[in-house]
Amino acid sequence: MTAEAKQTSAAARLDALRHAYGDLGSVELLQALIAKEFPGSIAVTSSFGAESAVLLDLVAQVAPDTPILFLDTDALFDETIAYREKLVRRLGLTDIRIIRPRLKDVQATEDVWRTDPDRCCYLRKVVPLERATAGFAALIDGRKGFHGGERANLPTITLGANGVFKVSPLVRWTEQEIEQAFTERKLPRHPLVAQGYRSIGCWPCTRPTAPGESPRAGRWAGRGKSECGIHSNTFSEGSGI
């Protein structure tokens, strides 16, 4: 099949998936895509950040053996690593796959985050995730519309890099609904949330947010950057990551 034919086929399936499942609630959407549409070829990408517990809890209710891909960039907060272990035990997730950048890429970006954060994200996050997701037809993520930016009008199902489908079950959730889920499900909080962190990534490029700021205002603050690149439509180094 030619590249053009593959693109046409993927676009047709995207339309079919949206028609069949685009209006479902989060749990029903996950049930349909994990068990029916992509059995054995779907995974979750999770940062184990400030709001990650909500999505992971939903996945655990539906299929706790779903692969969870966790990017350890070698620049994460120690609290994030500890929180990952706590959530895995609490939710009974059974297939956690820790993805790391190559040593040479870590060494090459020792201080690059100061001068070229796009390249740092590309080598520490985009490249290793591309390797880790090979073979998966669909990826589940925790993007939410209320975070703003590119996420504001995101559909629940999109077509991402290399024809991989992206599923965002929480995209229509409000901030209040996220908080309600934490309370009702008695989900543990990331330790840094109490210090004002509302979106948590690598420590050099993450700060607490001030009252009234959007949840992602603390990511790459002052850099004119709001995404690391793993949700871009391509995995190329020159794609505006």
Q: 143 with 217: CB under 8 angstroms? A: no
Rounded distance between C-alpha atoms, residue 17 and residue 32, angstroms: 10
Tokens of 74: 């070698």
Beta bridge partners of 43: 139
Residue 39: exposure state from Cβ atoms within 10 A (0-12, 13-18, ≥19): exposed
- Nearest alpha-carbon partner for 189 in 55, 49, 94, 60: 49
Cα-based angle 194, 196, 201 (whole degrees, multiple of 5): 100
| Catalytic residue of the set 120, 202, 205, 228 | 228
Clarify whether 228 is annotated catalytic: yes
Query: Which are the catalytic amino acids?
Result: 228
